[in-house]
Amino acid sequence: MKVRAVVLEGIGDICLRDIEVPGTLEPADNEVRIAIKTVGICGSDVHYYKHGRIGDFVVNEPMVLGHEAAGVVTAVGAKVAQLKVGDRVCMEPGIPDFGSQETLAGHYNLDPSVRFWATPPIHGCLTPEVVHPAALTYKLPDNVSFAEGAMVEPLAIGVYAAAKAKIEPGDVAVVAGAGTIGMMIAFSALAAGCSEVIVSDMAKAKLDLIADRPGIVTVDLNHQKLTDVVAAHTAGRGADVFFEASGSPHAFDNMMDVIRPAGRAVLVGMPQDRAPLDVVALEVKEVTVTGIFRYANVWDRTLALLGSGKIDLKPMISGSYPFDESVAAFERAAQQNPSDVKIQITF
């Protein structure tokens, strides 16, 4: 079928045009059709736009962008019972093989054949209408706007990271990196029970956006040493949890210096180059290290958390552009202005 969409043609080349994509807008028995209302521009969208690839995922042909979305159900399949026409929803963008070993074990984010919106060669959702599995489509709480609903996807990464960290009430956490994902992790860690979250970055404008949030301590790496700040806030013992969310290999330079003995580290950012890790310190301190890839089994909890009002994402939405001005929206997102967190496109 042919749809109007935001299409990445190649490196630095994006346009709004009609494009032929697989499928139909008639939902199957277990699917729903959704009129898209808001789509957020993710860092991965920008990376594909600027570089044409992320690791082994390479854009070899025109691809529709976008995977952070909210909208309204306009049609339901014959076997869909939990949703109805008119429901306000957001969508989990990865469609796994429900028969794979990873999916059956509960790790559907690790399914090698998962079809994730706007990950080559799968088209994204920056188009007026999409059809999606009902099982991966969730009703928005009444107090959650479409703009906030489109933020559930990055927030789910934070909630998943916090769950992986096995946070206990009163823990002190460090988040290396104050980008969108770093912020989502910080908010999620506080909601999970951390008494303090120490967030470090070299972008002061980003730190300033969250500096007044209760429980957050910011560290400007241009003028402060993370090790000194962590020591001051933990009586020299070290943080209970360390989240790496910057994607910089330099974040590992002092990672082991700021984690307490028997602490935990959760790796979220993906360095382009090999990252150094002090294995001896890891062994001597018995630090538990894990990585995460996207998220699994947290979408409903993320929505509940957002609906509860414990996390306010509205200040994180830096700009909104109509669909017809999508190219301008991407041009702004690609500038990576220090004060911008999330740029969105509306329909």
* Tens digit of pLDDT at every position of the chain (347 positions): 999 999 999 999 999 999 999 999 999 999 999 999 999 999 999 999 999 998 889 999 999 999 999 999 999 999 999 999 999 999 999 999 989 999 999 999 999 999 999 999 999 999 999 999 999 999 999 999 999 999 999 999 999 999 999 999 999 999 999 999 999 999 999 999 999 999 999 999 999 999 999 999 999 999 999 999 999 999 999 999 999 999 999 999 999 999 999 999 999 998 877 888 999 999 999 999 999 999 999 999 999 999 999 999 999 999 999 999 999 999 999 999 999 999 999 99
pTM for the model: 0.96
Q: Please state the φ and ψ torsions of residue 312, each to the nearest 5 degrees.
A: -105, 110
Give the DSSP H or E segment for 192.
helix 180-192
Residue found under tokens 């307490």: 260
Q: Provide the pairing of β-strand 115-116 with 94-95.
A: antiparallel
Query: Of 114, 93, 65, 107, which is closest to residue 156 (Cα–Cα)?
Result: 93
CA distances from 275 to 174, 206, 248, 293 (A): 18, 24, 8, 17
Please, what is the Cα angle at 2 between 8 and 98, to 5 degrees? Answer: 80
Tokens for 101? 């070993």
User: What are the tokens at 263?
Assistant: 């602490």
Pairing of strands 88-91, 94-95: unpaired
Q: Could you give all domains of the chain from N- to C-terminal order, each with its CATH number?
A: 2-151+313-346 (3.90.180.10), 157-291 (3.40.50.720)
Q: Alpha helix (H) ranges present in 52-130?
A: 101-104
E strand spans, the chain: 2-10, 13-20, 31-40, 53-54, 57-58, 63-64, 68-76, 88-91, 94-95, 115-116, 129-133, 137-139, 172-176, 196-201, 216-220, 239-244, 259-267, 288-291, 317-322, 342-346
